[in-house]
Each structure stands twice: as structure tokens, then as C-alpha cells.
Structure 1
């Protein structure tokens, strides 16, 4: 009883098309689609970044220390 009927929706759409024109509505639709696409990409990039933050990190200080020790042993043999 208080809802919007299909005819009311059709009339509203016709008024919108008459006011703005189809070209402008098409541009608004493509801009809206591009914005949603960018938002989804940003959300996926953010999730990938979170996953990378929790990935185990290799301790490079141990690798550097072992390389330095190997060089010192080689120099001491000379």
C-alpha cells in the first residue's frame, strides 16, 4: 500500500533521462563502474599486503654473519 509501483519507477526514470540525457547518464555509469573497479583493486591489494606482513621473514643477519666468517677464514689461510 505504501510501496512504489512499477509505473512510478518508469515515470521517475523517464524524468531523469529527460533532465540529464542519455550521454551524461552513460558517462556517470562508466565513472561509477571505474570507481567500483578501483575500490575492489585497492581492497585486494590491501589484503595481499596484510598477507605479506604475516609471512615469515628470513633473518638476513645470520646470512651476513656466516658470509663474513667465511671471508675471514679464507683471509687467515693466506
Structure 2
């Protein structure tokens, strides 16, 4: 069914959506979609950089050589 729509059908659908929701509502929606895409791309980039940094640290032999205090704050204060 969707293969039979064509350019005229898509234009008609766009006009109906514009009439139903209004230009302002559609602009806000597209802005939110844009923000979501930007946040997704940023997340992918950050995770890719984190993976690369982890691999670099593992290859150089420095991964896991520093000690970290993971004691909860309450226990550290009582000690």
C-alpha cells in the first residue's frame, strides 16, 4: 500500500499534518528531534573515545595499576 502513495500523496499528507498540528507545534517537535539526534551522536562519540582510551591504557600496561579508595564515605568518616 505504501508503494502506491507517490509525491502527490506525500504532499497531501504533509498538508493535513500541518493543518492538524500547526506550524509552531511541528517546529517544536522537529527541534526536539534534532536535540535527540545530537545527544545520541554525542553519546556514541563519548563511548567510542572511552573504549579507545581503555584499549590504549591496556596496551600500554597502565590499566589497573593505580589503587582507588572505594570505601563508602560513612565508613571512611568512622575510621
Q: Deviations over 1:4-24 (max 9, x none)?
A: 121111110010000000000
- Residue 35 of structure 2 is matched in structure 1 by 34
Structure 1 runs (4+) deviating above 6 angstroms are none
Instruction: Tell me the TM-score normalised to structure 2 length.
Output: 0.68
Structure exhibiting the larger radius of gyration computed from Cα positions: 1
Count of residue correspondences: 60
Gaps of 5+ in 2: 67-79
In 2: Cα distance, 1:52 partner to 1:10 partner: 48
CA RMSD across the alignment: 1.9
Say which SS state the counterpart of residue 14 (structure 1) adopts.
Answer: helix
Instruction: Tell me the TM-score normalised to structure 1 length.
Output: 0.69
In 1: Cα distance, 2:6 partner to 2:38 partner: 32
Residue 33 of structure 1: how far off its partner (Å): 0.4
In 2: Cα distance, 1:4 partner to 1:41 partner: 36
